[in-house]
């Protein structure tokens, strides 16, 4: 049972990191104001990236 918990923690950690990296890439480094960003779109795309990361992690499930 511990190996499933370890897998879940690792998978969730990767998903959160992927979501954060996606958000950073969407925000960019341009001279855009904080209120000019489309936060709903950033959250949506980052959420999809996190789900894809979790689905990719399924391949590493312990048998």
**Dist. CA 9–CA 27, nearest whole Å:** 27
Number of folded domains that form the chain: 1
Q: Residue 51: give the domain boundaries.
A: 2-60
**Dist. CA 6–CA 61, nearest whole Å:** 10
Place of tokens 């979501």: 19
Place of tokens 């960003």: 37
Answering whether pTM is above 0.85, one says: no
Computed on alpha carbons and rounded to an integer, the radius of gyration of the chain in Å comes to 15
Asked if residues 7 and 61 have their Cβ atoms less than 8 Å apart, the reply is yes
Per residue in 14-42, pLDDT (tens digit) is: 999 999 999 998 887 665 676 778 889 99
- Among candidates 27, 58, 29, which has minimal Cα distance to 45? 27
């Amino acid at each position: 049972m511990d190996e499933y918990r370890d897998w879940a923690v690792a998978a969730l950690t990767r998903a959160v990191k992927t979501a954060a990296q996606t958000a950073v890439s969407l925000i960019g480094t341009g001279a855009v104001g904080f209120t000019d960003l489309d936060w709903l779109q950033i959250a949506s795309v980052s959420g999809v990236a996190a789900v894809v990361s979790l689905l990719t992690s399924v391949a590493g499930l312990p048998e």
